[in-house]
Amino acid sequence: MKGRGKSIRGKALSALSAMLCLALPANAAGLPRVMSLNVCTDQLAMTLAAPGQIVSISDLASDPGLSFMYRQAAAYPKNRGLAEEVFLARPDVVVTGTYTLHNTTDLLKHLGFHVEEFAYAQTLDTIPGEIRRMGRILHREAKAEAVATDFETGLNAIKASVCGPAPTAIAYGQNGISQGAGTLADSVMRAAGLRNLAAELGYAGMTPFPLELLIEHRPDIVILPEQLSTAPSLADLTLKDPALRALKGTRFGHFVPEGAWSCGGPFVLEAVKALAKVRQEISPCPSSGAPTQ
């Protein structure tokens, strides 16, 4: 009887396995099943993975302030970045960031999971390589090459269109936080033909920038973040200061699409395009027949 019971259970498991295989899309067969624990790797995986290849993505992927692909994220199961979730899901590979979830990452490696860590992209030049790397991890090299090449082509076209004197700009966020030298935002501004005021004044990374300096130097463009909520917040008071709004000739706006420069990915090109458009409006290139200075 025991042997018969084992046989019945074995047949049931085999049937269940067969059903699960049939449920997978044909183009996901044989590809590694991936689980992403980081909002940046979420978006790279969503861009490149075949249908059915992604086990789950982080819950931050649904946050429009952090994820440019928050709408696409609605189609995928979510995780909270817990080792227990990975252990139960048993993906073939886990992708995450080098700057978060250190305890989880170390534990998963100790348990024998294949973990791939991605550093946060600080410059536009690093993005094509990260796209191609994710393509290799997912065994989607052809797709990754096409996406990376399109990104490089688009970026080079924008850089080639830059002409004339560069307007000054600053990304000015809640509590007066600016994006100085060595940030992805700084790289985007420079590619769009703008001078980053914070970087030029010696500020690096994400750092507080004195309102007095901003008023003194009168940048041409102040890039504001989208409001995080409709509730009143002390963090937003700096952005509403009357002295800031009294600057004549300065353009204020949310010019960069939400989430477009929060992570390194092909969508960062949308941030470059948006700022290049504003730059052209402020300092247009001379027409072909007009004399240049």
74-95 pLDDT tens trace: 999 999 999 999 999 999 999 9
pLDDT digits (tens, 9 = 90+) for 96-152: 998 767 789 999 999 999 999 999 888 999 999 999 999 999 999 999 999 999 999
Q: Could you tell me the two tokens for 103?
A: 């305890």
One of 3.40.50.11540, 3.40.50.1980, 3.40.50.300, 3.20.20.70 is the CATH number of 162-282, namely 3.40.50.1980
End-to-end CA distance of the chain: 95
Whole-number Å distance between alpha carbons of 107 and 278 = 47
Whole-number Å distance between alpha carbons of 65 and 226 = 8
Average pLDDT of span 7-27? 40
Higher pLDDT, 164 or 180: 180
Q: Do 29-120 and 162-282 have matching folds? A: yes
Hey, what long-range contacts does 201-204 have (CB within 8 A, 24 or more apart)? 203/178, 204/180
pLDDT digits (tens, 9 = 90+) for 34-44: 999 999 999 99
pLDDT digits (tens, 9 = 90+) for 228-249: 555 455 545 566 667 777 788 8
Tell me the pairing of strands 206-208 and 177-179: antiparallel
DSSP label at residue 232:
-
Q: Could you tell me the two tokens for 56?
A: 């789950």
Neighbours of 117 (CB within 10 A): 18
Task: Report H helices in 224-263.
Answer: 242-245
Q: What pLDDT is recorded for position 21? A: 40
Neighbours of 247 (CB within 10 A): 15
Residues 264, 266, 267, 271, CA torsion sign? positive
Do residues 178 and 209 make contact, with C-beta atoms less than 8 angstroms apart? Answer: yes
Q: Domain-by-domain residue ranges, the chain?
A: 29-120, 162-282
Q: What pLDDT is recorded for position 66? A: 93
Task: Look at residue 173 and tell me whether its pLDDT is greater than 50.
Answer: yes
29-120 maps to CATH 3.30.1360.120: no
Using CA atoms, how far residue 262 sits from 55, 181, 202, 212, in Å, is 23, 16, 22, 27
